[in-house]
Structure 1
Amino acid sequence: MSEPLSRGDAIYAELLERLGEDQPQPRLDATRRVAELLGDPQNSYPVILITGTNGKTSTSRMTESLLRALGLRTGLFTSPHLQRFNERIVIDGEPIGDDALDVVWQDIKPYVAMVDNELVAQGEPRLTFFETMTALAYAAFADAPVEVAVVEVGMGGEWDSTNIVDAAVSVFTPIDLDHVEKLGRTIAEIATTKAGIIAEGCDVVSARQTPEADTILAERAHSLHVPFLREGVDFAVDSSTVGVGGQLLALRGLSGTMYNEIMLPLYGEHQAQNAAVALAAVEAFTGRRVIAHDILDEGFGQVTVPGRLQLLGATPPVYADAAHNPHGARALAASLSGFFAFEELALVFGSLRDKDSYGVMEALRDSVSTVFVTQSSSERSHSVEDLAEIVRDASATLDVFERDSLEDAIESARNWAEQGESRGVIVAGSIVLIGEVMTIAQQNGWALS
């Protein structure tokens, strides 16, 4: 007999009966309507809204951690979750508890039903999973209450349900090709959609962008007469050196202040860039305030980003990274060459059918020698056979093995790593895959924590 679901898992199961996150509706009126019925909870605190193609979650978590180190009570909304639904709504650094989540859900559920009925009467789909999830998060933050919320945009920007707020700071991580069927087939088209989160009266903070994306973001900011603060112009990563357990940074802030010897417990040049963007976002939010070094030590020092080059097991070393598109895979490849000294690496690879799996493997093929192809439990997963063919097309020199179950794939990779000197394992290709590997590591007793 199976154990009863926790309240958080039960609420998640209810929400899964709605249109999923891969089927967003390009509309804001539905989310605005349920928020209006709830008294517009999203307007009871300032919001820092973060979009981009890669680095959104890392930048969001760093931004929230810095704000909390400043003594503010924070809310954090990210997606998707890795293991438990509650991870998506974080209050003051902790995932929302089942009891608090249930209270908010019971409060908003009648209003969600009202809007569902209105939408159906108009011939539209009822509130989607993500629209309902957004309303739940904004209501939870008001109920807490928080002093500032850091909100990661789901998909796109202009019509994403998170964009029912006028952001205090609109933040852009690097924009690249992803979700092309929904957002556009060029970087310019995708940037145009994402630029929709820029609101009157906000500050705009942007990582380095391609010329096309930079132009579009700048035009949108200038049309609304708001500051457009660019990495490399208004703030920057001055230097990054490998340190024990991460990297040591020197960052130039918005005021021109140099912040030296900042320890970031994360790997990769892209994480240094994310740290610079997060710091600039916090400086902008606080009115260009110079942040004390002890605040930076605390804020960056306590930050964790699960599933982003996370060490899951030590013997043999197994890392998990949520690289699921070519841009993310290129960042992972750069990190593997710049921060690690393995002689050989095995990749456990599972991907979704709507992702550019060939592009991911093209980016990673020179970083690994062996690939164990598998799949997650997602209905959108590539079949093992089809994905193995994609891997072989991307590189004829890799040793490729097919494993129908993820557990078999990870154990095969660990056994492979134990048979040689200086070998390691990296798991990548799907966020769902990463969450399931974390669970396998815990259940089988080789997880570090």
Structure 2
Amino acid sequence: MQYPEAIDYLYSRLPVFHRIGPKALKPGLGNTLRLCEALGNPQHRFRSIHVAGTNGKGSTSHMLAAIYQSAGYRVGLYTSPHLKSFTERIRLNGQPIAEDEVAQFVVQHKDLIEAVEPSFFEVTVVLAFDFFARQSVDVAIIEVGLGGRLDSTNVITPIASVITNIGLDHTDILGETLPQIAREKAGIIKPGIPVIISETHPETADVFQEGAQAAKAPLVFADQESHVADEGLLKGVRRIRITRNNGQTNIIELDLTGAYQLKNVVGALTTVAVLQALLPVPEEAQLIGLRSVVRSTGLKGRFQTLQEFPRVIADTAHNQPGISALLTTIYSLPHANLRIVLGLVADKDRSKILGLLPPEAKYYFCQAQTPRSLPAEILQAEAAVLGRIGESFSDVNSALAAALQNSSPEDLILITGSNYIIAELTNL
């Protein structure tokens, strides 16, 4: 079996969230534990850092990977979903897992997969754990897929648990209030393992304090340990001033240029500080890592500039808090007309997302080639009711082409709304 056949097998045989949504979820950790046990429990054979949160967990995971790589560690990185290739989900020192490794895993464990009948995500998690164990990584950064408590990644015992923030997303699965969602995310807290919360929120702080106290886990709210200030964009990096409670001040340069990354970077740096005794990282390596996150980890789609004149920016923001944070940065950039290429999945609270978007922007509605995607004509009609007017297109590339054709060099084009929309861009 070659790689294309292996991937086709996994997609056709197993429930896949990005195709059918919540129906793909398998309740509980039983399948993952059964798969892990059959493979000799690889999740216990390497050190890991577990990263959860509504938004920012992918960026934070990549920042941590870049920092530890810069310090000379052998670093595994597991994230989801992928944009272009399945192999992006599992990386070693920034390099995607080899296609042959994926094919070999499927061939070797096909009988096990068919006996357990796991979800697609459960198989990919165990594939990552097996790969990291065999590669003897010094540390693996493991991003939660959805929630935390019942997420397949939650079979690890990490050296730190990181929760970036809490917002309203996947409310049909995780709960309809911020405290309910926070309890699901807090499910990654383990006895005695330090917990780092990137962003303090008055509605959820008590949830994390109670969870950490019950687990006797040291708890740090990163934004209470350091103050961050935006120093603006300069030559393709965002300069950030970090002032710690002890008075120490540093200027860091981050190649992830969205202003929303200020909240993520303080969580990443606090995690590195908490783990200094276990995984020492010199300050210079931290600075180098943050300056080269994209280059060293392959991260795409986070306020990524695709071209200039007109400036075209692609961002995977796909929920209300993510879109709100994204627009803050967009409004700070000089431009004539703002043109928004937008596609959403059908199971989101679309009215809240659409209500955040500026009515004066020019809209180009599109859809991804996945069953979860909302048809562009429906999105166009729903947006029109709220005064967001534009044309509809069958795919993101034709929508972008129309936006470019209508633009002057001083315009700004934003492509956003869904991971799947960004994934289908031909020039990403």
Instruction: Check whether TM > 0.5.
Output: yes
Q: Helix, strand or coil for the counterpart of 1:171? A: strand
Q: Is the 8 A contact 1:104 1:140 kept in 2?
A: no
**Are positions 1:20 and 2:13 aligned together?**
no
Q: Tell me the residue number matched to 1:351.
A: 344
Give aligned pairs, total: 418
Q: Helix, strand or coil for the counterpart of 1:322? A: coil
Q: Is the 8 A contact 1:8 1:85 kept in 2?
A: no
d(CA) in 2 for partners of 1:298 and 1:393? Answer: 48
Alignment counterpart, residue 391 of structure 2, candidates 393, 397, 401: 401
d(CA) in 1 for partners of 2:357 and 2:328? Answer: 9
Alignment counterpart, residue 389 of structure 1, candidates 381, 392, 416: 381
d(CA) in 2 for partners of 1:281 and 1:350? Answer: 34
Q: Tell me the residue number matched to 2:291.
A: 301
Q: Helix, strand or coil for the counterpart of 2:69? A: helix
Q: Matches of residues 166-185 of structure 1 in structure 2 within 5 Å?
A: 166-185=157-176
Letter in 1 for 2:235: V
Q: Matches of residues 102-121 of structure 1 in structure 2 within 5 Å?
A: 102-114=103-115, 116=116
Letter in 1 for 2:400: I
Q: Matches of residues 138-287 of structure 1 in structure 2 within 5 Å?
A: 138-252=129-243, 256=246, 258=248, 260-287=250-277
Shift of 1:401: 1.2
Q: Matches of residues 303-318 of structure 1 in structure 2 within 5 Å?
A: 303-304=293-294, 305-318=299-312
The TM-score, its normalising length taken from structure 2, stands at 0.93
Alignment counterpart, residue 415 of structure 2, candidates 427, 435, 438: 427
Alignment counterpart, residue 436 of structure 1, candidates 417, 420, 424: 424
Shift of 1:421: 4.6
Q: Tell me the residue number matched to 1:328.
A: 322
Q: Helix, strand or coil for the counterpart of 1:269? A: coil
d(CA) in 2 for partners of 1:277 and 1:158? Answer: 20
d(CA) in 2 for partners of 1:404 and 1:232? Answer: 43
Letter in 2 for 1:325: N
Q: Tell me the residue number matched to 1:341.
A: 334
Shift of 1:399: 3.8
Q: Is the 8 A contact 2:47 2:159 kept in 1?
A: yes
Letter in 2 for 1:425: I
d(CA) in 2 for partners of 1:226 and 1:236? Answer: 24
Q: Is the 8 A contact 2:49 2:141 kept in 1?
A: yes
Shift of 1:189: 0.9
Q: Tell me the residue number matched to 2:93.
A: 92
d(CA) in 2 for partners of 1:289 and 1:31? Answer: 28
Alignment counterpart, residue 292 of structure 1, candidates 277, 282, 285: 282
d(CA) in 1 for partners of 2:167 and 2:385? Answer: 23
Shift of 1:231: 2.4
Shift of 1:383: 1.4
Letter in 2 for 1:383: P
Shift of 1:267: 1.9
Q: Please give the per-residue CA displacement for 1:282-325, whole angstroms capped at 9, x wherever unaligned.
A: 22222388843321222111101311111123353221111111
Q: Is the 8 A contact 1:175 1:209 kept in 2?
A: no
Q: Is the 8 A contact 2:193 2:217 kept in 1?
A: yes
Q: Please give the per-residue CA displacement for 1:80-131, whole angstroms capped at 9, x wherever unaligned.
A: 00000000001111111112333333343343334x2xxxxxxxxx200111
Alignment counterpart, residue 118 of structure 2, candidates 117, 123, 127: 127
Q: Helix, strand or coil for the counterpart of 2:46? A: coil
Report % sequence identity.
30
CA 1:208–1:288: 2 relative to 1, 3 Å: farther
Unaligned runs of 5+ residues in structure 2 are none
d(CA) in 2 for partners of 1:393 and 1:7? Answer: 49
Q: Is the 8 A contact 2:237 2:291 kept in 1?
A: no
Q: Please give the per-residue CA displacement for 1:61-93, whole angstroms capped at 9, x wherever unaligned.
A: 001111111111010000000000000001111
d(CA) in 1 for partners of 2:348 and 2:186? Answer: 23
The TM-score, its normalising length taken from structure 1, stands at 0.88
Shift of 1:238: 4.6
Q: CA RMSD in A?
A: 2.0
CA 1:355–1:222: 2 relative to 1, 3 Å: same
Moved more, 29-38 or 97-106: 97-106
CA 1:344–1:241: 2 relative to 1, 3 Å: same
d(CA) in 2 for partners of 1:302 and 1:269? Answer: 17
Q: Please give the per-residue CA displacement for 1:197-217, whole angstroms capped at 9, x wherever unaligned.
A: 000121100012322221101
d(CA) in 2 for partners of 1:162 and 1:132? Answer: 11
Q: Helix, strand or coil for the counterpart of 2:323? A: helix
Q: Is the 8 A contact 1:250 1:258 kept in 2?
A: no
d(CA) in 2 for partners of 1:137 and 1:377? Answer: 27
Q: Tell me the residue number matched to 1:59.
A: 60
Letter in 1 for 2:274: A
Q: Helix, strand or coil for the counterpart of 1:109? A: helix
d(CA) in 1 for partners of 2:280 and 2:75? Answer: 20
Q: Helix, strand or coil for the counterpart of 1:211? A: coil
